Amino acid sequence: MIFDDTQNKMIVTKLEAILSLKNDAVVTVRNEKDIEWHDDNPTSITDEQINTEQQRLQAIEDAK
């Protein structure tokens, strides 16, 4: 997670969402938008799945 100064809270990153879906994913995420799969994304994780998981994890974090 990263701390967002403007929102004054911890933000769940796309990488953390990807790792939540596949904990051994080999991937680089740049600027929270460009995803480079170094393992060719063997389970074909979609952007929609990542965004949904990111929102789910963020809701958990916000509830703390």
Rule CB under 8 A: which residues touch other proteins? 1-3, 5, 10, 13-15, 19, 23-32, 36, 38-39
By beta-carbon proximity to other proteins, the closer residue of 10 and 57 is 10
CA-to-CA dists, residue 35 to 5, 30, 38, 43, angstroms: 24, 7, 10, 15
By beta-carbon proximity to other proteins, the closer residue of 30 and 63 is 30
By beta-carbon proximity to other proteins, the closer residue of 2 and 59 is 2
Helix (H, G, I), strand (E, B) or coil at 50: helix
